[in-house]
C-alpha cells in the first residue's frame, strides 16, 4: 500500500466521482457562525462534498477574509455562496428555493441524524458556536437532527457536526 499523489490521486478521485455520483443537492445555512476558522473549514468540506451552495447569514464572517481563505484553501472562489444579514430571511429564501430545511441542533423534537429521512434537496442549518440556531430560524425549519454524544461533551464543533451529517446524506442516508 502506498499513498496516492499527483496524477494517480487525480485519476483515483475522478474515477470514484464518476462511479458514485451524488443523488442529493445539499446546501447549508450558516446562521451567525462567528469564528472564521469554522467558516473556512465549512467551505473546504462543502467543496469536498460538492455541495450546491452555502448561505452565510447574520454575523457570519464572509470572504474575502484571511482566515477563511487560508483554512478553506480559497474554496470560496469555487463554491457558490451568498450572504444575507437577516437570518430568518435567509432561511425563508432557502426554503423558497425548494430546500427541505433541517437544523443540526439539539431541540425537544430532534431525531438522531442517521434516522432522519432527508429530501433530495436539503438545506442543513447550523448556528452560532455558543448559542446554536435561534428560535426564529428554527421556526423556519421542518425538522432538527442531532449527533448523539457518548462522552461528557454535549456537542461537537459546528464544522465537524455539519460534515458528519453532509457525508451521511451523501453516502446512504435514509431517503424519502
Tens digits of residue pLDDT in 110-137: 999 999 999 999 999 999 999 999 999 9
The three grid cell numbers given for residue 96, joined into one nine-digit string: 423558497
Q: Contact at 8 Å (CB) between 38 and 28?
A: no
- Residue 42: how many CB atoms within 10 A of its CB? 29
CA-angle at 52, arms to 40 and 20, nearest 5°: 105
Query: Coil, strand, or helix at residue 117?
Result: coil
Does pLDDT of 175 surpass 60?
A: no
| Helical spans, DSSP H, in the chain | 6-19, 36-48, 66-71, 87-96, 135-138, 158-170
The CA distance from 146 to 81, in Å, is: 25
Indicate the CATH number for domain 22-170: 3.40.1280.10
pTM: 0.95
Q: Contact at 8 Å (CB) between 113 and 167?
A: no
pLDDT tier, 44 (very low <50, low <70, confident <90, very high otherwise): very high
Residue matched to cell numbers 423558497: 96
Instruction: Give the CA dihedral 106, 86, 120, 79, nearest 10 degrees.
Output: -110
The CA distance from 51 to 27, in Å, is: 6
Amino acid at each position: 500500500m502506498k499513498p496516492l499523489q499527483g496524477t494517480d490521486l487525480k485519476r483515483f478521485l475522478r474515477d470514484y466521482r464518476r462511479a458514485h455520483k451524488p443523488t442529493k443537492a445539499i446546501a447549508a445555512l450558516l446562521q451567525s457562525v462567528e469564528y472564521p476558522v469554522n467558516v473556512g473549514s465549512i467551505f473546504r468540506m462543502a467543496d469536498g462534498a460538492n455541495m450546491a451552495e452555502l448561505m452565510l447569514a447574520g454575523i457570519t464572517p464572509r470572504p474575502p477574509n484571511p482566515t477563511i481563505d487560508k483554512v478553506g484553501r480559497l474554496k470560496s472562489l469555487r463554491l457558490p455562496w451568498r450572504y444575507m444579514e437577516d437570518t430568518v430571511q435567509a432561511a425563508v429564501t432557502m426554503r423558497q428555493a425548494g430546500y427541505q430545511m433541517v437544523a443540526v441542533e439539539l431541540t425537544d423534537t430532534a431525531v438522531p441524524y442517521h434516522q432522519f429521512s432527508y429530501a433530495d434537496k436539503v438545506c442543513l442549518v447550523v448556528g452560532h458556536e455558543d448559542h446554536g440556531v435561534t428560535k426564529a430560524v428554527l421556526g423556519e425549519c421542518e425538522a432538527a437532527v442531532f449527533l448523539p454524544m457518548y462522552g461528557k461533551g454535549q456537542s461537537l464543533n459546528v464544522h465537524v457536526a455539519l460534515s458528519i451529517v453532509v457525508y451521511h446524506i451523501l453516502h446512504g442516508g435514509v431517503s424519502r
